[in-house]
């Protein structure tokens, strides 16, 4: 629900109009649910620390890092900085403290939002020539995961050098697709000890696009999906790259079927693809919808350490992941000036658990409108 100035104060003409939104009970309940899930993650960190110390596997530095991450996660979004207007029964949420851990449910939601805000304006410029590509490799187990992810990243980089024309294959014209750049996003799904790393890619291609879909192959499935020449070729190239084979015209386009394929689909970018592109690197739930087990946590903790989720190439090369708190100093100041009320606010840090059950106050949060 949007609230205008009426409910709080009439500020007349302001240069920037902050949008003040009511923080609903439902939203607070949801955030409270995140805190519950985070408790599980805190337990996972604790186990990792305890078993590492008992088995003497952790260096003091590693143990320190795990201990710190656990502490930050524990306190993530637990306290909201609030201003309370007692007479109006209104509390204004100013800021909260976020841990930025990749296993944190709060921070994953915030990161998703920040990534979208960051990349969307750039992607909009290419919306007519934007495609969604999904590249996969066969599933692997926990032990192979880190190496698989690193190898995929390396092969993807190589694939880009072929698509942008820096490397060429004699007899294969890859420049005809007019590749201009892409945003590559890593996602890892899992079920028991089976991991499925894959890339979602937003790719800008030239006017010719990917051409008609007319090829049936082993990935067509029961839905009889057909593939374009571009998709079919990328499936081959991706297999060759991942398996360390030479890219030759024969290997890519030849009738010989000994070079195989890995799955690749490329379609016009749809609005719902943003969600896939800027989704979580790894979900808190496995593919059968059970909460992440300790062994999955441990595997993902080590496999994803210092692994970058998003990477831009070509026209998106300079768009970097944002790493900021939800509220900037400027937003904070705008908020203060907006709230020129007679009443003096009482500043306080409130534990979230108390707020979500409190019926006496309406909680507001501010957001800056561009
Ligand atoms: Zn967090």
Q: How far away, in angstroms, is 66 Cα from ligand 1 center?
A: 14
In a domain, 1, yes or no: no
Q: How far away, in angstroms, is 97 Cα from ligand 1 center?
A: 8
Lowest mean pLDDT among 104-113, 118-127, 184-193, 254-263: 104-113
Q: Do residues 175 and 165 touch, judged by C-beta distance below 8 A?
A: yes
Q: Do residue 186 and residue 289 come from a single domain? A: yes
**Confidence grade of residue 112 (pLDDT, cut at 50, 70, 90):** confident
Q: Do residue 140 and residue 221 come from a single domain? A: yes
The three-class DSSP label of residue 182 is strand
Nearest to 320 by CA among 203, 133, 183: 183
Percent of the chain scored above 90 by pLDDT?
Answer: 45
> Which residue range is the domain that position 146 belongs to?
127-314
Q: How far away, in angstroms, is 314 Cα from ligand 1 center?
A: 32
Whether 184 shows a pLDDT value over 50: the answer reads: yes
> Greater confidence, 367 or 253?
253
**Confidence grade of residue 53 (pLDDT, cut at 50, 70, 90):** confident
**Confidence grade of residue 345 (pLDDT, cut at 50, 70, 90):** very low
Distances (CA, A) of 22 to 34, 214, 362: 19, 51, 7
Distance between CA atoms of residues 268 and 203, nearest Å: 10
Q: pLDDT of 197-238, one tens digit each?
A: 999 999 999 977 788 999 988 888 888 889 999 999 999 999
Mean per-residue pLDDT, 260-276: 92
In a domain, 175, yes or no: yes
* DSSP H or E segment with residue 364: strand 362-368
Q: How far away, in angstroms, is 73 Cα from ligand 1 center?
A: 5
In a domain, 112, yes or no: no
What are the residues whose beta carbon lies below 5 Å from ligand 1 (ion)? 76, 98-99, 104, 106-107
Q: Do residue 361 and residue 247 come from a single domain? A: no
In a domain, 271, yes or no: yes
Tokens 């499935």, residue located: 221
Q: Do residue 267 and residue 298 come from a single domain? A: yes
Q: How far away, in angstroms, is 248 Cα from ligand 1 center?
A: 47
Q: Give residue 249's Cα distance to chain centre.
A: 36
When computed from its CA atoms, the radius of gyration of the chain, rounded to whole angstroms, is 25
In a domain, 136, yes or no: yes
- Mean pLDDT, the chain, as a whole number? 79
The DSSP code sequence of 93-153 is: EEEE-----TT-HHHHHHHHHHHHHHHHHHHHTTGGGEEEEEEE---EEHHHHHHHHHHHH
Lowest mean pLDDT among 92-101, 265-274, 286-295, 308-317: 92-101
In a domain, 121, yes or no: no
Tell me how many domains the chain contains: 2
* DSSP H or E segment with residue 273: helix 273-277
Q: Do residue 279 and residue 342 come from a single domain? A: no
Whether 162 shows a pLDDT value over 60: the answer reads: yes
Q: Do residue 153 and residue 269 come from a single domain? A: yes
Q: How far away, in angstroms, is 75 Cα from ligand 1 center?
A: 8
Question: What integer pLDDT is reported at residue 10 of this predicted model?
Answer: 38
Distance between CA atoms of residues 69 and 67, nearest Å: 6
Q: Do residue 160 and residue 304 come from a single domain? A: yes
**Confidence grade of residue 121 (pLDDT, cut at 50, 70, 90):** confident
CA angle at residue 119 from 34 to 77, to 5 degrees?
A: 20
Question: What integer pLDDT is reported at residue 18 of this predicted model?
Answer: 46
**Confidence grade of residue 277 (pLDDT, cut at 50, 70, 90):** very high
**Which neighbouring-strand residues pair with 194?**
141, 191
Q: Do residue 279 and residue 334 come from a single domain? A: no
Whether 195 shows a pLDDT value over 50: the answer reads: yes
Q: Do residue 294 and residue 333 come from a single domain? A: no
Q: Do residue 365 and residue 285 come from a single domain? A: no
Q: Do residue 327 and residue 259 come from a single domain? A: no
Q: Do residue 94 and residue 159 come from a single domain? A: no
In a domain, 133, yes or no: yes
pTM value? Answer: 0.77
């Amino acid at each position: 629900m949007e609230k205008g100035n009426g409910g709080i104060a009439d500020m007349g003409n302001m240069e920037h109009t902050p949008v003040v939104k009511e923080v609903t009970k439902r939203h607070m309940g949801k955030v409270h649910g995140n805190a519950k899930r985070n408790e599980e993650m805190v337990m996972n960190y604790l186990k990792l620390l305890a078993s590492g110390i008992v088995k003497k596997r952790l260096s003091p530095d590693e143990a320190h890092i795990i201990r710190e991450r656990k502490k930050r996660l524990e306190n993530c979004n637990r306290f909201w900085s609030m201003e309370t207007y007692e007479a109006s029964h209104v509390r204004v949420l100013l800021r909260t403290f976020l841990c930025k851990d990749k296993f944190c449910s709060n921070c994953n939601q915030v990161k998703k939002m920040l990534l979208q805000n960051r990349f969307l304006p750039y992607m909009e410029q290419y919306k007519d020539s934007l495609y969604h590509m999904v590249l996969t490799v066969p599933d692997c187990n926990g032990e192979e995961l880190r190496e698989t992810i690193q190898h995929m990243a390396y092969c993807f980089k190589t694939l880009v050098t072929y698509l942008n024309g820096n490397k060429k294959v004699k007899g294969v014209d890859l420049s005809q697709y007019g590749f201009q750049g892409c945003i590559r996003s890593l996602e890892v799904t899992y079920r028991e000890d089976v991991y499925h790393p894959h890339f979602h890619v937003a790719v800008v291609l030239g006017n010719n696009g990917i051409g008609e879909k007319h090829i049936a192959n082993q990935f067509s499935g029961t839905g009889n999906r057909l593939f374009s020449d571009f998709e079919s070729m990328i499936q081959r190239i991706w297999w060759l790259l991942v398996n360390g084979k030479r890219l030759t015209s024969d290997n890519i386009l030849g009738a010989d079927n000994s070079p195989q394929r890995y799955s690749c689909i490329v379609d016009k970018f749809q609005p719902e693809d943003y969600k896939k592109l800027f989704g979580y690197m790894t979900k808190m739930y496995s593919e059968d919808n059970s909460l992440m087990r300790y062994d999955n946590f441990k595997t993902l903790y080590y496999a994803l350490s210092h692994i970058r989720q998003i990477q831009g190439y070509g026209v998106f090369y300079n768009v970097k992941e944002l790493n900021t708190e939800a509220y900037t100093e400027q937003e904070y100041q705008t908020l203060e000036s907006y709230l020129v009320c007679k009443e003096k606010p009482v500043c306080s840090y409130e534990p979230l658990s108390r707020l979500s059950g409190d019926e006496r106050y309406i909680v507001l949060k501010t957001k800056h409108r561009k």
